[in-house]
Structure formats: C-alpha cells, structure tokens
C-alpha cells in the first residue's frame, strides 16, 4: 500500500519517490506544462486498472501510452506492417 498522498516540488527526491511508486504498481500524478497527468507502468495490469479507477474511466475507453520510440512501443503493442510504416514515417511527432 502506498504512503499517504504527498505533494512534492520537482527534485531528485520527488523523482525517486515517483519511480518507486510506479515500480510498485501505483499511479502518480505529474504536472506538465499544460495538464496534470497520471503515470503508471503500462505493462502492469494492476497499475493500469488503478488509473481507470482513479479517473472513473470506463474500461472501453483506451488510455494513451507514451513511449520513447518505436522499439519500446513494439514491446507492449501489436503493429501491422502498415502501422509500422506510419510510425517510421511520422514518429516522433504530435
């Protein structure tokens, strides 16, 4: 069970705490330049379920998974030849 909710300013301590919680299967809230997001390990079914629960999101509504490159995406998703060609052509991008 994670510790009580804490709000941390950006620091090495905050990054370490977030990484530890994500590694344990818990989501963490992250402030970006435009929105607040929830981060979790997309390869951990319990962590993904916790994101759905926290957001009150219906299970038929997919989540976005951010990855650094096509190789990482192919480790967690299935790509047809057509999808791979589109990714090669347009990634990285909006």
Q: How many domains does the chain contain in total?
A: 2
**Residues 12, 25 within the same domain:** yes
User: Cα–Cα distance between 45 and 25 in angstroms, integer?
Assistant: 9
How does pLDDT run across 26-49, given as a tens digit for each residue? 999 998 889 889 999 999 999 999
- Looking at the structure, tell me whether residues 48 and 84 fall in a common domain: no
d(CA 1, CA 15): 19
Q: Are residues 71 and 43 in the same domain?
A: no
Rg (CA), the chain: 15
Whether residues 72 and 59 share a domain: the answer is no
Q: Decide if 27 contacts 39 (C-beta within 8 A).
A: yes
pLDDT truncated to tens, each residue of the chain (94 aa)?
666 788 888 899 999 999 999 999 999 999 888 988 999 999 999 999 999 999 999 999 999 898 888 889 999 899 999 999 999 899 887 6
Q: Are residues 9 and 47 in the same domain?
A: yes
């Amino acid at each position: 069970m994670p510790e009580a909710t804490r709000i941390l300013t950006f620091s090495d301590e905050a990054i370490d705490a977030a990484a530890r919680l994500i590694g344990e299967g818990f989501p963490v809230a992250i402030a970006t330049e435009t929105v607040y997001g929830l981060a979790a390990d997309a390869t951990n079914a319990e962590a993904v379920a916790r994101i759905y629960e926290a957001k009150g999101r219906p299970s038929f509504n997919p989540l976005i998974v951010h990855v650094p490159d096509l190789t990482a995406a192919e480790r967690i998703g299935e790509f047809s030849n057509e999808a791979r060609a589109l990714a090669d052509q347009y990634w990285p991008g909006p």
